[in-house]
Structure 1
Amino acid sequence: MPNTQHSLDKLETLLKDLGYKVRYEKGNFKTAACVLEHSRVVVVNRFSNIETKIGSLVGILREVPAADAALGEKQRQFLQSIKQTRLTI
């Protein structure tokens, strides 16, 4: 996956379609996903570079349980390709 804004946008859209809210915040922390009072949130460090943001979102997508029923065919294939490939930087 190329380290471009388009790739980052695709990952954000996939997370949103899986029911996660993606937030960009500033601070001294690593990007992570969590559940807060039954709402799923992914918090991304605003100051991270694009490679780090993409790598973090791919890592989160590999770990989260995916309800494939809510996804379209293209997004289901995209998610499957993320879960099957290893990211090398």
Structure 2
Amino acid sequence: MSKLKYNKSTLSTLEEMFAEMGYMVRYEKGNFKSGYCILKSKRLIVVNKYFPTDGRISCLADLMHFLLPQLDTGLLQREEHLALLPVIESHQPATAAEPSAE
């Protein structure tokens, strides 16, 4: 099983995957304990804008890991997105708790 690569290409791929599944990812200033906040009712994910690329990838991968059972992965069209799913499923989230939602 390959590991998650922490580069801009992976970040773009994760953002595209969320977009294909109906989520909007934004980078904003905020005091999120985990570095991100998700507004499920609006399908909006807000990540701390001061995080470097690897921090952003970690946040999005953690969220994808927790949300994967609820997401419609059938909406994913691109081969690279489908190839990343097993990597995300095996990803060990940095935080043990579920993401906070409002």
The alignment's TM-score, normalised by the length of structure 2, stands at 0.72
Q: Which runs of 5+ in 1 are unaligned?
A: none
Partners of 2:72 and 2:43 lie apart in 1 by 13
Would the aligned equivalents of 2:14 and 2:61 in 1 still touch at CA under 8 Å? yes
Alignment partner, residue 31 of structure 2: 28
Partners of 2:77 and 2:22 lie apart in 1 by 14
> Which secondary structure does the structure 2 equivalent of 1:54 belong to?
helix
> Which of residues 64, 69, 80 in structure 1 aligns to 2:86?
80
Q: Which moved more, 1:69-78 or 1:22-31?
A: 69-78
> Which secondary structure does the structure 2 equivalent of 1:33 belong to?
strand
More strand by share: 1
- Relative contact order (C-alpha < 8 Å, sep 6+): which is higher? 2
1:9-44 deviation digits (Å, cap 9, x = unpaired): 1110011111101111012222132213xx201101
Q: Which runs of 5+ in 2 are unaligned?
A: 95-102
CA drift at 1:72: 1.8
Partners of 2:55 and 2:65 lie apart in 1 by 15
Partners of 1:21 and 1:60 lie apart in 2 by 13
CA drift at 1:67: 0.6
Alignment partner, residue 18 of structure 2: 15
The alignment's TM-score, normalised by the length of structure 1, stands at 0.81
Alignment partner, residue 57 of structure 1: 60
> Which of residues 62, 70, 75 in structure 1 aligns to 2:75?
70
Q: Structure 1 stretches (4+) deviating beyond 6 angstroms?
A: none
% identical aligned pairs:
26
